[in-house]
Structure 1
Amino acid sequence: MAGDTDNPRLWEGADFYAAPVGTTAPTDVETALAAAWLAVGLLSEDGASESRDQDSTDHYAWGGKLVRTTKSKHKRTIKVTCLEDNLVVFGLTNPGSTATTTGGVTTRTIKVPKSDPRAFLLELRDGEVTKRRVIPKGEVSEVGEVTLSDSELQAFELTITIYPAADDTLYLDITDDPQAVVTP
């Protein structure tokens, strides 16, 4: 059987960050993040998931022979579930809302959500291997149902729609994974 048992990845640790669009992104896996990158806190053990959606149209020649397929309306999303109800998560789930604290009591004023694009960074770890997925521009497009219960953790499932840059770049993956090395 061909292959190397060191190559499959099981991401044992992860952190997810949000920052204003245009925040300096890392260019390696070791440099500390700029202060503007704020951690969302604990994530669900379910991890993160990426989804792709696009329209495809098949084009046929006379007689029914497939000659081409065109693609359009490509959409990419990433989904994470945050387990903390901190200020970062509050801002992502309620853009345009406010929170104030007076005398140890915090009041959150929830408003109809406004558009609030952000930069995102997902950092994954598998032993000595690290991968940073830098999303220069995206937006929380969906917040899953939040359960308030004595038998389930309160969690905030966020779906983030990734917006492409002018050159069609969706995100950058920066890794020190030896299997990702490009040889000339």
Structure 2
Amino acid sequence: MAGDTDNPRLWEGADFFVAPVGTTAPTDVVTAIDEDWLAAGLLSEDGASETRDQDSTDHYAWGGKLVRTTKSKHKRSIKVTCLEDNLVVFGLVNPGSTATTTGAVTTRVVKIPKTDPRAFLLELHDGAITKRRILPKGEVSEVGEVALSDSALTAYELTITIYPAADDTLYIDITDDPQAVVPTTP
């Protein structure tokens, strides 16, 4: 059987960061993440998931022979579930809302959500292997149902729609994974 049992990844840990669009992102996996990137806190053990959606149209020659397929309306999104109700998560769930603290009491005024594009960074770890996925521009487009109960953690399932850059880049992956190395040519 072909393959290498060291190659499959099981991401044992992750951090999720948010920053204003245009914030300088790391260019490697060892440099500390700049303080302009705010951590969203603990994430669900379910991890993150990427979804792809696009329309495709098949084109046929006379007689029914498939000759081409065209694609359009490509959309990608990432889903992550935050387990903390901190200020970062509050801002993602309720863009345009406010929070103030006086003494030990915080008041949150929740308003109808406004458009609020952000930059996102998901850092994943599998032992000594690190992967940083940088989304230069995206937006929380959906918030899942939030349970307020004594039998389930309050969790905020966020779907982030990724917006492409002018050059069609959706995101950038930076990793020290040896299986991702591009061979050099003489």
Task: State the shift of 1:33 in Å.
Answer: 1.1
> Unpaired segments of 5 or more residues in structure 1?
none
Task: State the shift of 1:42 in Å.
Answer: 0.2
Task: State the shift of 1:34 in Å.
Answer: 1.3
In structure 1, C-alpha distance between the alignment counterparts of 2:34 and 2:103, rounded to whole Å: 31
SS in 2 for 1:62: coil
Query: How many residues align structurally?
Result: 184
Q: After the TM superposition, which residues 78-97 of structure 1 pair with which residues of structure 2 at under 5 Å, given as runs?
A: 78-97=78-97
Residue 124 of structure 2 corresponds to 124
Residue 32 of structure 2 corresponds to 32
Residue 165 of structure 1 corresponds to 165
Residue 46 of structure 1 corresponds to 46
Task: State the shift of 1:58 in Å.
Answer: 0.1
Deviations 1:114-148 (A, max 9, x none): 00000000000000000000000000000000000
Deviations 1:13-69 (A, max 9, x none): 000000000000000001011111000000000000000000000000000000000
Residue 47 of structure 1 aligns with an amino acid whose one-letter code is G
**TM-score under structure 2 normalisation?**
0.98
Residue 68 of structure 2 corresponds to 68
In structure 2, C-alpha distance between the alignment counterparts of 1:166 and 1:156, rounded to whole Å: 31
> Unpaired segments of 5 or more residues in structure 2?
none
Task: State the shift of 1:176 in Å.
Answer: 0.1
Residue 108 of structure 1 corresponds to 108
Residue 7 of structure 1 corresponds to 7
Task: State the shift of 1:9 in Å.
Answer: 0.2
SS in 2 for 1:151: coil
In structure 1, C-alpha distance between the alignment counterparts of 2:145 and 2:41, rounded to whole Å: 19
In structure 2, C-alpha distance between the alignment counterparts of 1:18 and 1:103, rounded to whole Å: 27
SS in 2 for 1:124: strand
In structure 1, C-alpha distance between the alignment counterparts of 2:99 and 2:151, rounded to whole Å: 28
Kindly report the root-mean-square deviation, in angstroms, between the aligned alpha carbons of the 2 structures.
0.4
Task: State the shift of 1:103 in Å.
Answer: 1.4
Please list every run of at least 4 consecutive aligned residues from structure 1 whose deviation after the TM superposition is greater than 4 angstroms.
Answer: none
SS in 2 for 1:89: helix
In structure 2, C-alpha distance between the alignment counterparts of 1:10 and 1:19, rounded to whole Å: 27
